[in-house]
């Protein structure tokens, strides 16, 4: 829940987010969807009834209208729908999470599709 509050605070502050992982550099960031295909447990371990925190954070960014893009630092997210982002409250955020997290496969596919749509923003 604490991470959800931090993400929502960043969303309301129109913050940009960067994924601080080595495989998301601008040289190979587009390989993230291949990595997710090969390592679905990275975002939701099969033996767990709940996802990794990162999956919740990515769902929150998608819900708030953030667009993934490649920056010099790696995979980043910029708000492309500021009115939507400002309108989201904690209750709506949690409701969206709960809706998507009912089905592990659907949640993983949703995020894979989201990350597959990496924009070419400088």
Residue boundaries of the structural domains of the chain: 2-116
pTM as predicted: 0.85
Coil, helix or strand at residue 92: helix
pLDDT at 122: 43
- The beta-strand segments (E) located in 21-63 are none
Q: How far apart are CA 15 and CA 86, in angstroms?
A: 12
pLDDT at 37: 79
5, 111, 10, 8: which is closest to 51 by C-alpha?
111
For 17-41, the pLDDT digits (tens) are: 988 765 554 455 446 777 777 888 8
Residues in the chain: 122
Check whether 53 has a pLDDT greater than 60: yes
Q: How far apart are CA 108 and CA 86, in angstroms?
A: 26
For 56-65, the pLDDT digits (tens) are: 999 999 999 9
For 74-88, the pLDDT digits (tens) are: 788 999 999 999 999
88, 89, 64, 59: which is closest to 78 by C-alpha?
64
pLDDT at 30: 47
């Amino acid at each position: 829940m604490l991470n959800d509050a931090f993400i929502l605070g960043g969303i309301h502050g129109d913050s940009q987010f960067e994924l601080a992982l080595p495989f998301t550099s601008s040289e190979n960031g587009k390989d993230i969807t291949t990595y997710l295909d090969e390592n679905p447990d990275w975002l939701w371990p099969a033996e767990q009834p709940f996802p990794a925190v990162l999956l919740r954070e990515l769902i929150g960014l998608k819900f708030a209208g953030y667009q993934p893009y490649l920056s010099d630092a790696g995979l980043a997210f910029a708000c492309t729908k500021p009115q939507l982002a400002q309108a989201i409250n904690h209750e709506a955020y949690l409701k969206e999470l709960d809706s998507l997290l009912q089905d592990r496969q659907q949640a993983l596919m949703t995020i894979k599709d989201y990350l597959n749509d990496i924009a070419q923003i400088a």
